Amino acid sequence: MTLCGLATLGGCASKEHRTRYSDKNMRLMIDPASISVEDYVRIQTALVQQGMWTIVDRASGLDAIKREQESLHKENTDRYDARQRWAHWGKLYGVGAIIAANVQCYPKKSLWRFDANTQTNYCEQFINLIDASTGEVVLGVESGDYVDAGSASDWKEVAQKLADAYPKSFERVPTSERIETYKLESEENSRRARRGEEIK
């Protein structure tokens, strides 16, 4: 019998391979407000081609929500903050994570390009993977490349970096530890309820 098998009675942590069917954060959508339409399409294509993620395309719906929020709550102080917005989108579209992307380009000469008639920009690309439930940035990657002026960046490299950096497995908490955590949380919630405090 293995050491893990012997420890089962007291609880034994095990690793499970992450897939888009077992990990909610691998079902994602791209925040269209964070990037241009052309870059949005390129990022989405790069992620789909990897075959690793489940991509939900709701760009038009998100734009409509944003416009509605801006028109209805423009003067209100209780507008969505970033965390609430991610959570709202996650519930509305059934995704676990949101991709927030950004690209910054500036003129720069490349030692590898000798065409004096072509203006070249150096573009830095950033992708953050944000948990829709907590607003936590789960993962952030960046990349850079030379791009002809007026052309959109190629997002394949930075999308690959995201895939490479994403954890391949997660460790299951032993059952005994989960029961203990639940017990402690229940006791704390009971104390809060008795004191009339809001339960988180």
Three-class DSSP category at 172: strand
According to CATH, the topology of domain 19-184 is: Rossmann fold (3.40.50)
Indicate the angle between helix axes 37-50 and 156-165, nearest 10 degrees.
Answer: 50
Residues 6+ apart with CB under 8 A from 149: 107, 118, 119, 120, 121
Three-class DSSP category at 192: helix
Spans of all domains in the chain: 19-184
Q: What is the pLDDT along the chain (200 residues), one digit of tens a residue?
A: 444 544 444 445 567 888 888 899 999 999 888 888 889 999 999 999 999 999 998 766 666 656 655 555 555 544 556 667 777 778 888 899 999 999 998 887 666 555 555 678 889 999 999 999 888 899 999 999 888 877 778 899 999 999 999 998 866 656 566 677 777 888 888 888 878 766 55
118 with 148: CB under 8 angstroms?
Answer: yes
In the chain the first and final C-alpha atoms are separated, in Å, by 42
Encoded tokens for 22: 């077992």
Encoded tokens for 48: 């789909």
pLDDT of residue 5: 47
Q: How far is CA 144 from CA 62, 119, 123, 158, 178, in A?
A: 28, 17, 5, 8, 43
Sign of torsion over alpha carbons 154, 122, 130, 63: negative
pTM: 0.66
Q: Which amino acid appears at position 192 of this protein?
A: R
Give the span between the Cα atoms of 153 and 155, in whole angstroms. 6
User: What DSSP character marks residue 173?
Assistant: P
